[in-house]
A and B are shown apart, each in its own frame.
Chain A
Amino acid sequence: MSLVTLTIDGRQVQVPPGTTILAAARQAGVKIPTLCYLEELNVIGACRLCLVQVEGARALVAACVTQVGEGMVVHTNSPAVRQARRLNLELLMSNHPQECLTCVRNTSCELQQLAAELGVGEIRLQGEMSPYEVDDSSPSIIRDPRKCVLCRRCVAVCEKVQGVSAIAVQERGFDTVVAPAFLAPLGEVNCVNCGQCSLVCPTAAIHERDETDKVWAALADPEKHVVVQTAPAVRVSIGEMFGLEPGSIVTGKLVAALRRLGFDKVFDTDFTADLTIMEEGSELIHRLQNGGRLPLITSCSPGWIKFIEHFYPNLLPNLSTCKSPQQMFGTLAKTYYAQKEGIDPVRIFVVSIMPCTAKKYEAGRPEMTSSGYRDVDVVLTTRELGRMLKQAGIDFESLPEEDYDAPLGISTGAGVIFGATGGVMEAALRTAYELVTGATLLSLDFEEVRGLEGVKEASVNLAGTELKVAVAHGLGNARKVLDAVVNKEREYHFIEIMCCPGGCIGGGGQPVPVDNEIRAKRIAAIYQVDRQMPLRKSHENPAVQALYREFLGEPLSHKSHELLHTHYTPRERF
């Protein structure tokens, strides 16, 4: 293929035909500002901040949507370009609330960043403000249309990545707003609370519900015994909140930081991830051996759960009845742990640190009270915990490495890989293989189910039976797998579905920004943690073994069913 040669700011650049000016400039090391642009997902040339001058062109062109041409001469930094970009930014800012100092995205806002980069020195234009009010109807996501710049990145992600389209562009002209149909509150529609919109929002127009105040209050209450659980994915991402490289493994520092905040016990969701494998693996074997409904589909991801309730209610019997690891943890903290330590469960306050906004919704589901109390009291996202640590003045990087508390902090490598797409499947295979065959697995690494491929398939020989499995992450990919099952194009025994691209490491509550490069680094870190664990199979977790011995009996026992399993609710598609 012959390359196109063009000149950008006096330098010759060669790129394949069809490349945009933006991509060509990036290749040449020239930075062009963007706002609405989201690679492959939202390429609409709407914000006009990437304007460049092309010699011979009638007007300035948007670099993100204009393809290069042979001999093209581009100027990205002429007075006309700078002036036009700055004016367009000023217009975007003219109806933006000047609340930066108190805004949740202060210092992580792209609009703020652009104002600095483009040298907007004063607010010259004060426009009429948005007529819409803050929508705080959702337990997970807050919509603040006043801060919306109408870049449509959230709309693109909701539609193209997740296949949900809970929000779209409504009304027109000055009344244009990103909202659900009928401008309904987000908490009342088919939004699955995944928070992918909050990851791509350049401002604070969409952000997580902040519940840090509730945790500060519990920590300050001497009557409360406050325990915390950390999801697998948080240990490979929270470092980013403190300027560390994506994929930095900070497990020990995270534990130390939580102790310094004042939590009475620092536990690990990895423990109940191992427990999930015991229950779900047994459920799979039970269904396989007793002609139960197949394929069995995993139930750890609360965004995925609400998605299937809305869009594929007929497949609800295929879902594992296992609660998610977060909810299993909450239940056990207020039953098993309370009994073991002789603490009145009324006094126990369970906090979760999750990479996920949907976990907030999950914790509040009416059925999640099998301990006799609200099983999980507050869910904080990675971002919220990062803010708490900053408020507490904790110097994260200089913290020592500390260990989780026993017994609910003891886990295996199988628990930690829940944080990456394919991890639940791999953890389940490690255990199911050994439980069914009675033999020791020679290689623990099921490479076929790892990585960022949207849909992964594998087949595993389980004592003579070919177990066919599939893994999907991102709900758009989940749709592909489910449609293939519904249309009988594919047959599987077991399917893992994670709501967010990359799995929980790419969750909607994670530090911004997130792209595939960052996802891959976090995933690599997850598997590194797994490799370094002395135990890597859930059924070998001594604390889980003790839990069954002392409390639950065996997997799928009556008590397990009562405490660790749940049911689902069919919902309307719209």
Chain B
Amino acid sequence: MSFGCKCGGELNSKLDALLDRYRGQPSALIQVLHQAQELYGYLPRKVLQRVAGALNVPLSQVYGVVSFYSFFTIHPKGKHQISVCKGTACYVRGAGQLLDRIKEELGLKPGETTEDGQFSLEVVRCLGACGLGPVITVDEDVHARVQPERMSDILAAYRQ
């Protein structure tokens, strides 16, 4: 397996157990996908093929569900998840510049992961902290009133 999974063997046996639990139950598709993504951090092609086979759902339909819901991803997530709020308040207070800055720093566009697997970037709408805009979150941490020039330091703190 690629990065994002610490131990292919352990994860795969967990997937086996998960699939055994729902074998032959097409209606369990979404919850199985949820749990599989929890295991792997994303939904690799091989995992989707195994889910399709076990639940007896055509792969085209499994992919249809995965590509419909933005929660699901077929791309490996980085170790750290950067979410930039582009809700109205954050947007007018400079979220766009933050995204530009992240692109400069990490070469990342929304939906992508850095090649070293450290960071993934996504855009979210309204984190419910409009007064603190522009807001970004990195993993569970909320960073308020972020100025573009602070971005380097913020990211450095997560880099190892």
Contact = CB atoms under 8 A, between A and B. Distances in A.
B57 to A, nearest CB: 9
Contacts of A172: 67-68
Given A172-B67, A172-B68, A182-B45, A167 B60 contact: yes
B60 A165 contact: yes
Interface in B45-65: 45, 48-49, 52-53, 58-64
Interface string A190-231: 000000000000000000000000000000000000000000
A181 B63 contact: yes
Contacts of A159: 58, 61
Interface residues of B, number: 15
Contacts of A165: 58-61
Nearest to A159: B58
Contact of A171 (B45, B48, B67): B67
Nearest to B61: A168
B60 A573 contact: no
A454 to B, nearest CB: 20
Contacts of B45: 182
Contact of A180 (B48, B53, B60): B60
B60 A168 contact: yes
A441 interface: no
Chain B facing A: main interface SS? helix
Interface in A153-190: 159, 164-172, 179-182, 189
A167 B58 CA distance: 9
B160 to A, nearest CB: 33
B59 A169 contact: no
A262 B123 CA distance: 63
Contacts of B48: 181
B53 A181 contact: no
A143 to B, nearest CB: 13
B61 A574 contact: no
Contacts of A189: 60
A574 B59 contact: yes
A563 B114 CA distance: 56
A545 B94 CA distance: 86
Contacts of A169: 64
A187 to B, nearest CB: 15
Interface of A: 159, 164-172, 179-182, 189, 573-574
Instruction: Please give me the 9 A-B residue pairs with the lowest Cβ-Cβ distance, nearest first.
Output: A165-B58, A181-B63, A168-B60, A574-B59, A181-B59, A168-B64, A181-B60, A171-B67, A168-B61
14 contacts: A159-B61, A164-B58, A166-B60, A168-B61, A171-B67, A171-B68, A172-B67, A179-B60, A180-B60, A181-B63, A182-B74, A574-B52, A574-B53, A574-B58
